[in-house]
Amino acid sequence: MNKSLEYRLWIIFFFYTAFVSLFIQLILLPYFFSSWHAGNGLLTSSLDSLSFHKSAVDLAQKIHVYGWSVWELRPKGQSPVGVVAAIYALTTAKPWVLIPLSAFLHATAAIILLKMILLFLPDWKKAIWCVLPFVFYPTAALWYAQIHKDGYSILGLLMIIYGLIILSKHIFIRKEYLKLTKGFLIILFGTFLIWLVRPYLMTYTNMLTCLFISIVFGFLIFMFFKKNIRIKTLSLNLFLFILLILLLSPENIFSWTFKKFEGTKTITQDLTKSNKNIAGPISPSHETKGAIPTTTTNVTDKARAGFIANNVIKINLARTGFIMANHAVDAKSAIDNNINFNTLSDVISYIPRALQIVFLSPFPTDWFKQGTFESNTLMRRITGVEMLGVYFSLIFLPFAAFYWRKQIEFWLVILFCTILLLLLGLIINNIGTLCRFRYGLLMTIVALGVAGFIKLLEVKSKK
């Protein structure tokens, strides 16, 4: 796909996103669904958006009075407030001024996903069909037409995956240093976006990134001893990779923003504050300090037991925060509220169930139930239609795996997305929130499934 076509498609995705956002904020909510309208183009059920907007307005007013010295990136730990307040202070305190930024994030993420699919389907006219669910599914409007963190984190995750693909493709080719540097910078910028809005997630994305880089390290050294690459190529590539691993290690350039154990606290607070836009809300007002189970009182002692025990505790803390929030608001989209993890065996035994939830929920039995808000009830119906597309694509994912089984890029994407999706499935027991958090990862796998379907049609037509 040439650059001119890439820019044209980006512009189409950008203006589509901007048009939908404007329509929702200025026409649909005020005039057609006024009972769902909380003012300023925001949904009454989008409690996080309302909270972010109010806090940003207050901070923008302080900036006007006291100057930019009062501005901070993460007021009360919420970076969207800092970003939105800066834009409000420079323009006007109305959510519609954020639409260009949201459209930029969504359109850029779509183009990156398209570039990944083009590795498997070189014909852009076919590859673009794989990206359409990501771009046009109505669920996405719940963050690009409101005020949320998801646009940043989705783009960040896709950039990390795409950067890893670039590194894996060009690491064995001589004189590809510019492309390797490009992949290096894309991964760093994607990590920055995740750090900006969900720093706790960065811990796991960095871990996965370093793991994949280490595997490529092994292949690179093996190729050197087989005399397939030169010492100069090996040295420069290893330098870039070691530098990347150092930057993504636990003590890195981002670590000054939060302390060693703050990630656990942030998981519990941030996730329990996430609203269930699809099936019912979790209100920011229901954040509780008591979101730590009594089974993990001696956190420090258990953390010393090792890396695995420490992460089991973190996962359990985060999940317990969700469980308590679900009870606090009588969440209708809560699932498996009775499940906790006290040992590694508890986590392992729950993995099949977590994968089922993260890939297949909301289940058909949930599509016609009532949500906590009227808007959530409608979104249950819309999500049901979306899930039909997800199920269809997953059917053809094995065909994609068969056709591209020899391409390392395919397995890199599948493993990266599946591991992070599993983590979300273990932590988040609220389907509405899970739909937002998993969107970028699940839509990437959906795109590969659609690509498998298109490839099957190609093979059948040739025969």
Percent of the chain with pLDDT over 70: 82
**Residue pair 129/451 in contact by the 8 Å Cβ criterion:** no
Indicate if the pLDDT at residue 278 is higher than 50: no
DSSP 140: G
Looking at per-residue confidence, does 418 or 220 come out higher?
A: 418
Q: What is the pLDDT of residue 167?
A: 85
**What is the pTM for the complete model shown?**
0.86
> For 314-339, what is each residue's pLDDT tens digit?
888 888 877 777 655 556 777 888 88
Give the dihedral sign, CA 402/403/406/410: negative
- For residue 16, give the amino acid letter: Y
Does 275 score more than 60 pLDDT? Answer: no
Weakest-pLDDT range from 189-198, 282-291, 380-389: 282-291
Average pLDDT over residues 151-165: 95
pLDDT of residue 152 exceeding 50: yes
pLDDT at 214 over 90: no
pLDDT bucket at 265, cuts 50 / 70 / 90: very low
161 close to 408: Cβ distance less than 8 angstroms: no
Predicted pLDDT of residue 162: 96
Region 55-66: mean pLDDT is: 96
Q: Which residues contact 243 (CB under 8 A, 6 or more apart)?
A: 184
> What pLDDT shows up at residue 353?
94
Domain edges within the chain:
143-251, 262-462
Over range 192-197, report the average pLDDT. 93
pLDDT score recorded for residue 370: 74
Report the pLDDT averaged over residues 204-232.
78
Give just the sign of the alpha carbon dihedral 83, 204, 415, 396.
Answer: negative
Asked whether residue 100 carries a pLDDT value surpassing 60, the answer given is yes
pLDDT at 43: 93
Cis peptide before 199 (omega within 30 of 0): no
pLDDT, average across residues 39-50: 92
CA–CA distance, 46 with 56 (Å, rounded to integer): 15
Strand (E) positions, 241-280?
A: none
What type of residue is 190?
G
pLDDT 10s digits, 353-386: 999 999 998 989 888 877 666 677 788 888 889 9
